[in-house]
Every structure is written in C-alpha cells, then in structure tokens.
Amino acid sequence: MTTSARIAIGAALAASALLPPVAARAESRPEEDVTPLSLARRADAVLVVVGAAPADAAETRARFEVVETLRGTPSPGDVLEVPVLPDRQDLRAAPGERSVALLLWRPDGRWAAPAGALSLFPAPDDATGAETLALFRALAAEGTGPPDAVRLRAALVRAVGAGEARVRAGAALDLLQEPGLLEGAAEAERAALVARFDAEPNRSRARFHLARIVGLLRPAAAAERLVDALLAEGGEALRPAVADALRDLGDPRAVALLASRTASASARDRIVVAGTLGALGGDSARAALEALLPDAVPEVRREAAASLGMLRDAASAPALLARFRGVPGGAGPEGDLRVRRALAWALAQADDPGAWGALRAAAEAPGESLRAFLEETLANPRRAFVR
C-alpha cells in the first residue's frame, strides 16, 4: 500500500468517526433500478400470491399460489415455482404470506423473478398492504402505449403517502424519473408530496427522493425545509439530494441560508454544511467555506478545504495558500496531515500559478510527509479526492 493510500484511508476513517453512519448512496442500492413502475413495465405477470411450502429440501425454488391475477396468464389457484438465484436476496415468502410478485416468462418455459427478492412486494392484509395492491393494480393496467399520466401520477402519489417503506421510496423515484408527471401534479398532489417529505424520517430512502421533489415543486419555504432536514439527526444521508434540490430550486437565498449555519456549535453541522456548499458553488459558498478554514476542529477544516476544491475557482487560492503555507507573522502552516492533504488537492483544482508553485515547492521540500501525494496530484490534478 502506498503512503498516499494509507493517508487516504486514515482520513476517511477519521472523518467517519465524527459523523454518524449514513444511508448507503444511491449507486450502491439495487432497488434504485427496480422501482415499482420499472418492474411492472418489464413483467409478463403481475400477481397477488401467497407463499407456499418450499419445492424441494434444498430450497432452490420458491413456490407461490396465485390469489389474483393483475396481469398475465396464471390463474387463481395456480402454484408457480420460481428459481432462487444464489447471487440475489432470498425470494421466498413465508407460507401464507401475501405479496405482489412481478415475474418474467423465460424461453425455457419457467417463471423467473427479474430482480430477485426485489420482485416481491409484501402486501399484508392491512391498510399498508391495501395501498400496495392499489398501486400495482394501477401499474398493471398500464398498456404498451403512452401512459395515462393522471391515473399513474395519482397512484404513485397515494403510494408515497401510505405505502410500505420500499414502495414509498420506489414510487417517489418513479415520480422523479417519469417525464412530465411532476409538472402536471394538481395542487392537492403537490401538497401531499411536500407533507410526506415533512413527515418522513431522515434515514428513509423515500425522504431522499422527496427532497429532490421538493426542489422541483418549489413550495413555500422550500429552502428552509431542505436545510432544516439536512441539519436534523441523520440528515447527512440527505446531503447529495439536498444539494441537487437546492440547485433545482434556484433560490438565491439558499446558499446564504446554509452559510448562516456555519456558526453552529456542532462540528457535525459545520461539516455537513461545508460539504453541501461545495456541491452548490458560487461566490457566497466560497466565502463561507474560506471562513471555516481556521476552524478549531480538523475535520471541519478538511471538509471546507475539499469543498473549496470542488468549486475549482482560482479566487479561492489565496485563502487555501495562507492555510497551506502559513502567513508571515501570523498562523503557521496547517499541521494536520489530513487537512494539509485536502488543501493540496484543493489548490490543484484552483488552477492558479501561485498554487502550482506552492505545490511544486512542497513536493521538493526535504522531509515533506505528503511528497508522494503531492507528486501524484501534480501529475494528475483532476483525480477524485477521497474524503
């Protein structure tokens, strides 16, 4: 392992120690690609089923009895066997457990679950299960032609408001991804979506997508809603969505509102705000991030430096240089290696002659602990920075 790799891992561990665990990013979640609408469009059969006893002792196949056919050829009473794929989550439902199954008919004459366990949506005999069934009845009714936008939007909005957790998240993402659905939302539908954002807990994946929806719908006090959610417990999981939503919102007060929170007594808040400001950009964001460079907490300084690098603005070079090299008669060079590493990366992004000179001088200085990292950064300045 190289010196720079060890430093990168150490920096990541140090930052994670200050922040609570965050929800997995979108790109690491398989359900992002298998929303209710996307699955329903792919499926040859949309069925209400109950789990049956396993087909064999090895349990390599799941068995379901069809209760109701929403779309497709299986009839109520049919028992279907579906292979359980070893590289997917467990598809089996407990005997007697009611679910909605979305299946494909394979060329070899067998039914298959296109997304493994994610092709199965629990639909218990209660109000939440009824909402799941209502959604899939509406989705199953969609033909191969243009969708009925009014009916489709109404079903998705209802599911966001009352469905099971995965259904709520998937329906919210479908509203974001299906062209034209949000633009045509009636006032009551818009209000329902914003109300669901307000009610949903921060670590819910539905709230992640609803944050984007709030940015697009632009309700009253949208920026305040988003920033308050970001700084509430567990809000760091929302940071990418809130940054995107604030950009979509286009409210010039958003950066100022975030910048005002940099005075928070909580280091965690200052870190989250710094990261969001870096994603938003602009002169106001730059000024607020520069004000965090002397922060007493190294992790805050590090996040501020890395976020300034995200701006790729030569105007940030003087503040970064002052921290990297120190100020004659004033503060000395940054002493924390993790912060110094972030400063070096940010200086490379600033693309300023003085910044390049400082990085080269540091790389050639005897005893420079970051020499390997500096040499790699000078050779490839646009490489991604690992926080």
Classify residue 384 by its DSSP letter: P
pLDDT at res. 156: 96
Q: Strand, coil or helix: what is 359?
A: helix
pLDDT at res. 83: 85
Closest CA to 219 of 193, 256, 238, 244: 193
| Stretch 293-320: mean pLDDT | 96
The number of beta carbons lying within 10 Å of the beta carbon of residue 368 is 15
Q: Is-contact 168 206, C-beta < 8 A? A: yes
pLDDT at res. 30: 46
Q: Is residue 135 part of a domain?
A: no
Q: Is residue 188 part of a domain?
A: no
% of the chain at pLDDT higher than 90 = 66
Quickly state the pLDDT bin for 11 (edges 50, 70, 90): very low
Q: Is residue 100 part of a domain?
A: yes
15 vs 156, residue with greater confidence: 156
329 vs 125, residue with greater confidence: 125
pLDDT at res. 251: 86
| Both structure tokens of 297 | 């907490």
Q: Give per-residue pLDDT as tens, 216-246.
A: 999 999 999 999 999 999 999 999 999 999 9
Q: Is residue 43 part of a domain?
A: yes
pLDDT at res. 27: 35
pLDDT at res. 61: 82
Q: What is the pTM of this model?
A: 0.82
pLDDT at res. 221: 94
367: amino acid identity, one letter? G
Separation CA 116–CA 39 (nearest Å)? 11
Separation CA 132–CA 186 (nearest Å)? 22
Q: Is residue 257 part of a domain?
A: no
pLDDT at res. 91: 72
Q: Is residue 83 part of a domain?
A: yes
Closest CA to 171 of 184, 152, 188: 152
Q: Give per-residue pLDDT as tens, 142-187.
A: 866 678 899 999 999 999 998 889 999 999 999 999 999 999 999 9
Q: Strand, coil or helix: what is 46?
A: strand
- Domain range for 97 is 34-123
Q: What is the mean pLDDT of the chain?
A: 86
pLDDT at res. 10: 39
> Which range among 34-38, 116-120, 188-192, 250-254 has the greatest average pLDDT?
188-192
Residues 250-271 as b/e (b if ≥16 CB within 10 A, e otherwise) read: ebeebbebbbebbeeeebbbbb
* pLDDT of residue 350 exceeding 90: yes
Q: Is residue 55 part of a domain?
A: yes
| Both structure tokens of 281 | 């950009």
Helix H or strand E encompassing 198: helix 187-199
pLDDT at res. 332: 80
Q: CB burial class (10 A; 0-12, 13-18, 19+) of residue 379? A: exposed
Q: Is residue 78 part of a domain?
A: yes
Q: Give per-residue pLDDT as tens, 16-53.
A: 334 433 333 333 344 456 799 999 999 999 999 999 87
pLDDT at res. 283: 85
DSSP string, 337-355: HHHHHHHHHHHHHHT-HHH
| Both structure tokens of 72 | 């497709």
258 vs 386, residue with greater confidence: 258
Give the number of domains in the chain.
1
Quickly state the pLDDT bin for 9 (edges 50, 70, 90): very low
14: amino acid identity, one letter? A
Quickly state the pLDDT bin for 385 (edges 50, 70, 90): confident
Separation CA 255–CA 243 (nearest Å)? 10
Separation CA 134–CA 127 (nearest Å)? 10
Q: Give per-residue pLDDT as tens, 53-103.
A: 765 656 678 889 999 999 999 999 999 999 876 655 567 778 899 999 999
- Phi, psi (degrees; rounded to nearest 5) at 140: -65, -25
Q: What is the CATH number of the domain that holds 93?
A: 2.40.50.120
| Both structure tokens of 135 | 């959604």
Separation CA 154–CA 213 (nearest Å)? 15
Q: Is-contact 230 242, C-beta < 8 A? A: yes
pLDDT at res. 122: 93
